[in-house]
Structure 1
Amino acid sequence: MFASILKMIVGSKNERYLKSLTPTVDKITSLEPAMQALEQGQLQTRISELRQEAANGRSLDEMLPEVFAMVREAGRRTMDMRHFDVQLIGGMVLHQGKIAEMKTGEGKTLVATLPAVLNALSGKGVHLVTVNDYLARRDAAWMGAIYNYLGLSVGTILHGLTDEERKEAYGADITYGTNNEFGFDYLRDNMKFYKEHLVQREHNFAIVDEVDSILIDEARTPLIISGPAEESTAQYSRVATSIPMLKPEVHFTKDEKARTVLLTDEGVARCEEIFKIENLYDPAHISLQHHVLQGLRAHHLYARDVDYIVKDDQVIIVDEFTGRLMPGRRYSDGLHQSLEAKEGVKVESENQTLASITFQNYFRMYKKLSGMTGTADTEAVEFRQIYGLEVAVIPTHRPMVRLDHPDIIYKTQQEKFAAIVNDLRDLHKKGQPVLVGTISIEKSEMLSQMLKKAGVPHDVLNAKQHEREAQIVAEAGHKGRVTIATNMAGRGTDIKLGEGVKEQGGLFILGTERHESRRIDNQLRGRSGRQGDPGASRFYLALDDDLMRLFGSDRLKGIMEKLGMQEGEAIENRMVSKAIENAQKRVEGHNFEIRKQLLDFDNVMNQQREVIYSRRRHYMETEAPEEVLLDFVDEMIDDICAPLEMSKQGPSEEDLEIVAARMEETFNLRWDPAQGAFDKETLRQAVVERFKSLRAAAPDHYGEILRYFLLEALDKHWKEHLLNMDHLRDGIGLRGYGQKDPKQEYKREGFELFQGLLGMIADTTVRHLSRLQIRAEVREEEFQHKEKAGDLQYQGAQDGQEKKAQPKKRTAPKVGRNDPCTCGSGKKYKKCCGAKG
């Protein structure tokens, strides 16, 4: 009670915060006449001066009023768009590293130009993150007029660019791109061998457009770069033909909420009969067991045209939140291969993780992060807990007048869709445009067929029409237009009302189903009522909708029966609407836990990733890689010589022999204990002399040789470590049965694996270099080293003619790729020395 009275007197926290920004808005406005008097050249000169002041230590906060006033003037001159006062407030919120919640149509794209220009003065780059390539290209070109007018450069990161083009785009003052491209570029940079090939600069400041979509919806799936594993794909097709022989509830049970399946005892026996094996749980058949479970998930939990589509003989994932296609993304752990086998398309090789990161951990690398969206307040707790981001709700430029009708509820989906078609026919005749929101491609196409039969002209916008997305959405506000959209397809494109539409009541939003998240429903509603335009919205529900069926309580059905609903009859009831909202809250909480668990596990990997990537960058950039090598040598000699220091009476003959054997095994140095002095320093000097001989053999390339072996060993063992961590995580949940916390066990065992990884990197590097022999085919001083297109070419210094190394005569018989390797390992040549090249 007291809190409510206090809020009425002093205002909410958000209101007090916005009020504190008002004096700065007044200051920016007071500078407007002075800015209008400046020519373009004078504005650019002043921007250059401010750059220098920022480099000399002046804070960006001090420059904010002047810079915002310049950007406002540039917007007015180049685009005839003068930033509103609420847009200035939004720009300040973004600059302070917060999330600005601004309603659809309030000009978020224009708002971003204010903090982008201000923070670009630091010279460290600003990243503007969008949800797809179209918006990145559009916004960079559209807002580029302002940046170019002020003398700033703009870059765009799109799918398919070369490394040179990416490096140029990242070198610009302001860079637009998608969250996927920024994240993958980071991972790819940490797989390169030469620092000249790196494309990204430091992670300074990012403004994330549609921040809830990118940092929450898409954060359930990590970014993964993978390579093909050496496993046959025939098993997937074999299992796919056998899945129809297994019956639900008899041979297996499924959990639609968690998307998991479990074999019953009858199912295990049936599998053993089908595949003619004695025990499905025998370790020899663990792979088959995994294939069967993934096959059951693919056939019974993942639906075509809902979770994925088949296009150009490929299974392409459909984003469950936006309805957009996600080409290039694949389900992990063999699920994607199971879907390919189910649909009868080519089964691609299973992949092994080479590099991965979650969006949470990628975006937390930025020194300053901010974002903007129409709907963030419902997820404010997650933004604060995961990213440390506060949400500020910015008032609209003009009052919101959209009319939001209460939900209307039917008993079955059939009755619901019949009512929707009737209402759409009436709205179309009236001339009022309608945007219809569905939750899947399947529902969109079903409704489209019903409207065709009813003679209602319409457009269908879903993942299959991705190329026409923006154009269809932009025209959705024209008179009499009916547009069916999957979830929030077309997000980021403004819907402007056509001529005569305001008189008909504005754009009508018709939701065919409640989404799992209230925020997605609010986004759909938010497409109507921009900039004070009239509009209306209503959701149509049925008791057998997925949300109601999976998460709605049985009590809800009891309420409906007590109300005595007849076939085709609809009700509007606050109690039912409240029950639906509670169901949505439960799903939001469930999804938050999924994302949080993903992050908890990735935090362990992230600590390891930071160590490995920082070491990798050091190996790549250091001018003295030999120091790294000598540190390895010191650690390894300490370990090898430990037996010599343990005995108080001095080392025994047996100890000396063990140390000598390990020295030969590790450093390729044969040591006879009878030779005399045998201590750590003597051994270290012997190893150092071994490496000095390498330097003498290739003085000009010694550093590059060391760097190559360091990076090669690190990459090889890091890839193996990622696979081991994947296997550890897959089975760690079973520790719960032993009364142990799976997360703590994952941290403990992951740390042990990581310690082993660091040791193996050092061991492999030193072993390979200790056995390396450099033979010069020609005298070094006669040639000048040139690197071109990955080949080594030599040019004569005396006659200027290009020479080629003479081919060596073979002194031993040729070894075939599939012959046993000559080194005696027992492996095939192509898998052993042949693979090393």
Structure 2
Amino acid sequence: MFNKLSQIGKKIQGMHIPVSYNIDHYNSIVEEINKISLSDKSESDLRNMAIEIRKKVKDGTSLDDVLVEAYALGREVSHRTLGMRHYDVQLIAGIALHEGKMVEMQTGEGKTLAAVLPAYLNSLTGKGVHILTFNDYLVHRDMEWMKPIYDFLGVTVGYIKEGMSIKDRQNAYRMDITYVTAKEAGFDYLKDFLCIREENLVHRGFNYAIVDEADSILIDEARIPLVIAGSQEGEENDLARLSALAKELIRGTDYAIDQNGSNVYLTDFGLCRVERLLGCSNLYEEPNLKLLTQVNSALFAEALLKRDRDYIVRDGKIELVDEFTGRVADKRHWPDNIQAAVEAKEALNKKSRGIIMSQIALQHFINLYPRIAGMTGTAKTSANEFHEFYGVDVVVVPTNKPCIRKDCSDMIFVSKEAKKNAIIAEIRKAHEKGQPVLIGTGSVEESERLYKELHSVGIEANVLNAKNDEMEAEIVAKSGMYGAVTVSTNMAGRGVDIKLGGENGERRDEIIAAGGLYVIGTGKNESRRIDNQLKGRAGRQGDPGKSRLFISLEDDLMVKYDLTKLVPLQLYPEDKNKPFNNSTVNNELNRGQRTVEGYNSDVRRQLLKYSFIIEEQRKIVCSKRQDILQDKAQLKILKEKSPEKYDEVLVKYGEKTMYEVEKQLTLFFINKHWAEYLEYMNYTRESIHLVVMGRKNPMDEFHKIAIEAFSEMLGDIENDIVSTFERVEITKDGIDMEKEGLTGPSSTWTYLINDSPDQFSNLPHLVKAFSTRASGTLFSLSSIYKKIFGRKTITK
């Protein structure tokens, strides 16, 4: 027995633990910083010290060797310019950020100020530092707020916002430190991919990034692809016809919806009916796969996506509602087929259909930085993913003052009605004694419903679910006022502290006597991290506070994942209006939440595996294209494949013209064929799960198809360069691309793909359904197998 325990102990010791609470190493460095007293130095002395530190780095001294004096200087300058002196815990966070760690700091502990020190230190190399934030409001606010420190230290700083010109973007990216949203930086990277002139590139080489609200950006939105698309003639008539067809189909007869309400499938009867209406003999034959995808998308849009819940229609456009924040999601699309299907469903006539010119998942974009670090109030629960996906570990930084917030056990009810009544009673009780209350809800619809319920019982509240980030920040800041009641959707990425009594601390003592901010959650989220973000709004900087979640067994999370099965019937309360009074129920629902977290983590992991090969191919194409654009590559295709015309042009117009001709053609056809390749792989991605019925591994098949298609694409690029070169007219100025019909799309735009309705994300379920041969599945395996392989049954 002892030997077995010893072996287990050795295994545990050998494991990599991605979370560290031990800050002894950082404390020793902080002690060195504290030994440097600069309070008696003049401003001139401090500026000279900044110049000397920069000179040391330029002469080859490592950043680690100047960290102590640089941080001591930064702390003193912050105190003199902003009146804010870094706490020791902020110094610890700054050191950990410089080391490339994911730092967990509680809400109100000063992450924005802590990030200044590593940003300043790393800017001294002259290679640039990006501080990646959650939204444009925080970008501008944080840059303007911290700018006096940077100015004093002789560090240039800028920011990027949507709508800026190429020149302004270039200037901002060439600053020592640039504040920008992760999405905007990613979009600029994609735009650089389409550049045909080097002078229009906006990014320089990536160096070091600090990611604010890191869990929201690196985990919640990591799998969301950033896309740049171009105009292409569409297929509106076909889409309208398919949308009309989907409206005729009957649930239960022609199609069925899975128990989670996340996928819809044609029944055998429905499949035959659709084929008859379309005049198509077999939707599952390879030539019909595109049509099959469009049929599925039309059915998905009709059966599962609801107007004013999943999206709104405004100014003739579809605008998605973000599942994490409950707000309208800026520049967000579903996958192209789903987006087009919803537009057809709502009879929005589009003159052109977009073709994806280039795309990159946010996760892959972040990994382009050689060094990254991040900060958030909730990192521990995602530590394994931070380490696995980004190679960074979590350091938990203690609070400056002990946290005395009281996190109460969940109140669990049988019905939503009983839960609602309990929430209103709890709000009324707190409100009557002047205690500010923040209520976190799961959706826009729920927030507005609760707001109306409160109004009907005489409780005035602010509701926070708007799109305007600046307006949101103002409402959040006021939610700590005496007697304030604020109803909000998800608090992720808000980036604003709630101070008791507001900015001026009005009636602060009375608020403290009433118990501080009371945070109420109207249900569990799919992640403990999201729940903890909400709870963390109370108890800022040692203030008193309280949090509690109110849950019902009718909540969406409970129904979607069938978590009610975890609660034994004998534990139900006799009075259905009373809460459960049993710790077992709470423990079981917490276990269910962890199971859901594990499933979502598996989905992200699965998506990473499937996108990995496309990302590696994108790197190859991007590197080659940038070398050509910046004249770093030798172009030999035309000399080798079309020597006669090559020599003719060379003699007639010279080497420079010949090089520009090949450069023009190569850049054009790389763009053209890469876009076509992405479109093909997107269709493949949406149908790859069907190979499960053929006893094949979807991942292996997807990789096989991607490798073959990529190789074919490279050959097509070369062939088109040669054939076009041999037919076009060439002058001393090269090729008139517009005259020869060799132009890209007339317009381009950027957006993000919301992949939640994509069948691809449900591959783990589909594979499991097949491997266990689950009975009664909505996905008719035998029917599809028969369609594909011409057999009636699946045999072992």
TM-score by length of 2: 0.86
Q: Is the contact made by 1:236 and 1:337 (CA closer than 8 Å) also made in structure 2? A: yes
What is the CA distance between 1:709 and its match in structure 2? 1.7
Deviations 1:686-723 (A, max 9, x none): 56533423xx3256644333321221122122222222
Q: Is the 8 A contact 2:293 2:686 kept in 1?
A: no
Q: Is the 8 A contact 2:367 2:390 kept in 1?
A: yes
Task: Assess if the C-alpha contact under 8 Å between 2:213 and 2:493 holds in 1.
Answer: no
Query: Which SS does the other structure have where 2:551 is aligned?
Result: strand
Inter-CA distance 258–748: structure 2 relative to 1 (3 Å threshold): farther
> Following TM superposition, by how much is the alpha carbon of 1:458 offset from its aligned partner in structure 2, in angstroms?
0.3
- Alignment check: 8 A CA contact 1:441 1:486 kept: yes
Q: Of 724, 737, 742, which residue of structure 1 is paired with 2:698? A: 742
Cα gap change, 1:311 to 1:771, in 2 (>3 Å): closer
Equivalent residue letter for 2:574? M
Residues 133 and 179, structure 2, Cα contact 8 Å, conserved in 1:
yes
Q: Shift in Å at residue 98 of structure 1?
A: 0.6
Structure 1 residues 703 and 465, CA gap change in structure 2 (3 angstroms): closer
Instruction: Rate the CA distance shift 1:248–1:188 in 2: closer, same or farther, 3 A.
Output: same
Match of 1:111 in 2: 114
- Name 2:669's counterpart in structure 1: 713
2:511 is matched with which residue? 501
Partner of 1:556: 566
**Deviations 1:367-417 (Å, cap 9, x if unpaired)?**
110000000100111111111110010000000101111111111112211
Matched, 1:529 2:542: no
1:518 is aligned, of 518, 528, 548, to 528
Structure 1 position 770, deviation (Å): 3.5
In the alignment, what sits opposite 2:424?
A: 421
Contact residue 40 and residue 150 of structure 1 kept, 8 A: no
Alpha-carbon spacing, 1:279–1:724, altered in 2? closer, same or farther (3 Å): closer
CA contact (8 A) 1:552 1:579 kept: no
Equivalent position to 1:130, from 129, 133, 138: 133
Question: What residue is the counterpart of 2:625 in the other structure?
Answer: 616
Query: d(CA) in 2 for partners of 1:831 and 1:472?
Result: 56
C-alpha deviation, 1:335, in angstroms? 1.1
* 1:601 paired residue among 610, 619, 631: 610
2:687 pairs with 1:731: yes
Q: Is the 8 A contact 2:174 2:204 kept in 1?
A: yes
Match in the other structure for 2:454: 451
Q: What per-residue deviation string (whole Å, max 9, x for no partner) do you get for residues 453-481 of structure 1?
A: 11110011014554511000000000111
Q: Counterpart in 2 of 1:581? A: 590
Residues 73-82 or 319-328, more deviating: 319-328
Contact 1:208/1:372 (<8 A) preserved: yes
Asked whether the equivalents of residues 90 and 111 of structure 1 are also in contact (C-alpha less than 8 Å), the reply is yes
Pick the aligned partner of 2:721 from 757, 761, 765.
Answer: 765
- Partner of 2:776 in structure 1? none
**Unaligned runs of at least 5 residues, structure 1:** 637-666, 668-683, 777-784, 793-828
Following superposition of structure 1 onto structure 2, how do residues 357-368 of structure 1 map, counting pairs within 5 Å? 357-368=360-371
Compute the displacement of 1:276 (Å).
6.8
CA distance in 2, matches of 1:390, 1:41: 39
| 1:252–1:261 CA contact under 8 A, matched in 2 | yes
C-alpha distance after superposition, 1:520-572 (max 9, x if no partner): 0000000000100000011111111111112244543434x444432311124
Specify the SS of the correspondent of 1:351: strand
What is the distance in 1 between the residues matched to 2:268 and 2:523?
38
Paired residues for 1:246-395 under 5 Å: 246-255=249-258, 257=260, 259-272=262-275, 287-347=290-350, 349-395=352-398
Q: Is the 8 A contact 2:635 2:659 kept in 1?
A: no
2:492 matches 1:483: no
Shift of 1:595: 1.4
> Which amino acid in structure 2 is aligned with residue 603 of structure 1?
F
Aligned twin of 1:569: 578
Q: Matched residue of 1:540: which SS?
A: strand
How far apart, in 2, do the equivalents of 1:752 and 1:723 lie? 15
Deviation (angstroms), 1:214: 0.2
Answer yes or no: is 1:690 the counterpart of 2:697.
Answer: no
1:544 to 554, 562, 585: 554
Contact 1:698 1:774 in 2 (8 A): no
CA distance in 2, matches of 1:345, 1:831: 34
Indicate the SS of the match to 1:325.
coil
Shift of 1:208: 0.2
Give aligned pairs, total: 730
| 2:636 matched residue in structure 1 | 629
Q: Structure 2 counterpart of 1:223, which letter?
A: L
SS of residue in 2 equivalent to 1:628: coil
1:508 to partner: Cα distance: 0.3
Other structure's SS at 1:88 match: helix
* Residues 714, 244 of structure 1: alpha-carbon distance in 2 compared, 3 angstrom cutoff: closer
C-alpha separation between the residues in 2 aligned to 1:252 and 1:71?
64
Contact 1:101 1:372 in 2 (8 A): yes
Higher relative contact order (CA 8 A, sep 6+): 2
Any idea what the Cα deviations from partners look like across 1:189-241, whole Å, max 9, x if unmatched?
11101111111111100000010000000113111112233222233333434
Residue identity matched to 1:574: S
What residue identity is the alignment partner of 1:511?
Answer: G
Counterparts of 2:743 and 2:163 in 1: how far apart (Å)?
33
Distance in 2, Cα, partners of 1:352 & 1:373? 36
The 1:691–1:38 alpha-carbon spacing in structure 2 relative to 1, beyond 3 Å, is farther
Candidates 203, 217, 226, aligned match of 1:214: 217
CA contact (8 A) 2:210 2:373 kept: yes
Alignment match, 2:34: 29
Tell me: CA distance 1:603–1:459, structure 2 relative to 1, closer, same or farther (3 Å).
same
Where 1:193 maps in the other structure, the secondary structure is coil
Q: Is the CA contact 1:125–1:175 (under 8 Å) kept in the aligned structure 2?
A: yes
Q: Does structure 1 retain, via aligned residues, the 8 Å contact 2:523–2:551? A: yes
Report how far residue 739 of structure 1 moved: 2.8
Write out per-residue CA displacement over residues 86-119 of structure 1, whole angstroms, 9 at most, x where no aligned residue: 1100001100001000000000011000100000
SS at match of 2:635: helix
SS in 2 for 1:229: strand
Task: Give the TM-score taking structure 1 as reference length.
Answer: 0.82
| C-alpha contact 2:668 2:742 (8 A) present in aligned 1 | no
Whether 1:437 and 2:440 are equivalent positions in the alignment is: yes
Give the match's secondary structure for 1:401.
coil
- Seen in structure 2, the aligned counterparts of structure 1 residues 359 and 580 have a Cα distance that, compared at 3 Å, is same
Contact 2:567 2:588 in 1 (8 A): no
1:678 is aligned to none
After superposition, what is the alpha-carbon deviation per residue over 1:643-676, rounded to whole angstroms, capped at 9, x for unaligned?
xxxxxxxxxxxxxxxxxxxxxxxx3xxxxxxxxx
Residue 779 of structure 1 is matched in structure 2 by none
- Contact 2:477–2:496 under 8 Å retained in 1: yes
Task: State, as a whole percentage, how many aligned pairs show the same letter.
Answer: 39
Distance 1:706 1:834, change over 3 A: closer
Q: Supply the distance in 1 between the matched residues of 2:731 and 2:348 (Cα, whole angstroms).
A: 51
Q: 1:149 maps to what in 2?
A: 152
Quickly say closer, same or farther: Cα 1:791–1:493, change in 2 above 3 A: farther
Change (3 A) 1:13 1:371: closer
Structure 1 residue 401 corresponds to structure 2 residue 408 = no
| Cα separation, 1, equivalents of 2:514 and 2:137 | 32
Select the residue among 240, 245, 249 that pairs with 1:237. 240
CA distance change for structure 1 residues 16 and 408 in 2, over 3 Å: closer, same or farther?
Answer: closer
